[in-house]
Structure 1
Amino acid sequence: MLPKPLQQLQKFFEKFPGIGPRQASRFVFFLSKQPKEYIESFIQSLQSMSTEVKLCSNCNLPGLKKNNLCTICSDSRRDKKTIYVVEKEGDALNLEKTNIHNGVYFVLGKNISPVEKTQSAKEQVKNLVKKLKRETNPEVILALNNTREGNFTAMYIKEMFKENELNNVTLTSLGRGLSTGSELEYADEETLRNALKNRH
């Protein structure tokens, strides 16, 4: 039904997290109705992202290529010794809304699965360990989803800290407030505030 250019565009949208064929087709129909100026602006934004943005070398959040850091890590007012470990970027953005956290983040990219063998998240944990070995008495707060995979990831990180003898690290987790199976990205601000204040 769709012309080939729109079919190709739909395939790109289908690769987005949480987007299926039906939603992807809606995006395509929306764009097909927009004026030329809108499409050109959209393309320019994508090109700017490609040429100007890269992952922060310190925490894996998106940052600008010119300074190699994200806006949070480059902010001198931030407490660099308080590190929140999160699964994905959306979790960090949601925690920022609470306005009670002035530290920095470390994004794993995904949780560690107990069944998958090759996982990028394990490599990120190794990078976190290397980073912490250079710090003096940091606090690491495991701000992970209260899911099976999130709990397994937290357990894996704790084991890696013990294995590498990171005795200088204060390790805590979010307190009660997040129900079982819930994800940080969708938690309301009050729930997150309580979880942060009651970390243990």
Structure 2
Amino acid sequence: MFKKFTKEDIHSRSNIKSSVQRQLKSKFAAQFPDIEAVIDDIVPKKSQAVLVKCEDKIQLYAVENEVVYFQQFDVLIPSLKIVHKYPTAFPRVQVDRGAIKFVLSGANIMCPGLTSKGAQLPEESLSTDTLVAVFAEGKEHALAIGKLIMSTDDIRSINKGIGIELLHYLGDGLWNLHLD
């Protein structure tokens, strides 16, 4: 999604009204219940949030020149920098070491990279279209945000094909974007 994203892909910026800002915060907290305790740290009450409209109907929501979350169509997706600050607030999967270079180049994650030795799927079943933070074997911080193409039960049983569609990863255009 952000593989070749640059500042030229930005169409407009506008301040968000406080009422819309509150709606976005509550929608984000509803999507990720574990984030509710720290949502006021992520988007402080007296801060000014900015809506940045981009190519392909992508909307970035920034506070103090840092993208907090983005959306394409309806779902709010956390930026990787927010996942690094609050890693336990998001559903988590782990890929094996062999998948790291492919993920960092923007490739979708294949099922074998999620089921092999060194990889971990959560104990509880996650359904299709669930947003997950992708961690790597032996690494402390998340390296990507993705959307499950299959449920975790299907990933375990079928073990073929694409398991996670990558949305945002370390080193992509959004990661390197500076709004100031």
Give the TM-score of the pair, scaled to structure 1: 0.25
Could you say which structure has the larger radius of gyration?
Answer: 1
Q: Using CA pairs below 8 Å that are at least 6 residues apart, which structure has the higher relative contact order?
A: 2
User: Which structure is higher in helix share?
Assistant: 1
Give the TM-score of the pair, scaled to structure 2: 0.27
User: Which structure is higher in strand share?
Assistant: 2
